[in-house]
Structure formats: structure tokens, C-alpha cells
Amino acid sequence: MTPGRQLGFLWGGAALACAAAAPWAPAFAQGMPACPFHWLTGFPCATCGGTRALLALGRFDLGAAFGWNPLVAGAGILFIAGGVVALGAALAGGEVRAPRPTLLLRAALAAAIAANWAFLVAAGR
């Protein structure tokens, strides 16, 4: 089996496992510690609200998910959807390739993180 096909099965399996575990996520989230960065500085970190965003996604409440943390909510949706597509491609014998981390991709990711953090600070998370 090729590495690209293995990646498809791995990504798809992980996405399906996360989706299947959604009903038990609230019980798991209760044991999560508070954000140490927020506790020390009073400012939200770039992922503050991420757990609540993923819990809202598990309830299919997109408005709440994007309200808590737009970047984490979007990444969660892309992870699950991409995993389903990757699994389908792997089952069909296709290849899944990870994108090369180009300068443009890195700049876009840095801009998305900065914009998300600015949103969290402005929203008072």
C-alpha cells in the first residue's frame, strides 16, 4: 500500500473516530484545565474557546461554534470533511497527498491565526 493511500485511511479513520466520540465529548471536556495563558495574562490565547467550539460542532450548532472560536470551528469542519473525502479516495484506490508548506501557505496560516486572535481579544474571550 502506498503512503498516500495509507494517509487517506489514517485521516479518514481519525475523522470518523472523532465524529463517533462526539456524544461523549462533554464528559471529557469537564476534566479539561482552564487556559493557563488566559489565567496568567488576562488575555485569550489563540485557541481560547476551542473546546467549547468543538463541543458546539458536536451538537451541530455552527453559530455557537464559530462564535466561540472561528479558526478552531473551521479547522474542525475541514478535518472531518477532508477525512471523509480522503477515506473515500483511499477506498477507491486513490492517493492523498499533503500540501507542501509554501511561503504563501505559511503566510495565510499566520494571517488566519492573527485574525482569529484579534477576534478573540475583541470578543473578550
What domain range includes position 90? 3-29+40-123
Amino acid sitting at position 104: L
User: Which three three-digit cell numbers place residue 78?
Assistant: 475541514
pTM: 0.86
- How many C-beta neighbours within 10 Å does residue 43 have? 13
Separation between Cα atoms, residue 102 and residue 79, nearest integer Å: 20
At residue 39, the 3 state secondary structure works out as helix
pLDDT by position in tens, the chain (length 125)? 898 899 999 999 999 999 999 999 999 888 888 889 988 998 898 889 999 999 999 999 999 999 999 999 999 999 999 999 999 999 999 999 888 889 999 999 999 999 999 999 998 87
Is 67 within the bounds of a domain?
yes
Q: Indicate whether 34 belongs to any domain.
A: no
In a domain, 106, yes or no: yes
- Based on the structure, what is the number of domains in the chain? 1
Q: Evaluate whether residue 35 is within a structural domain.
A: no
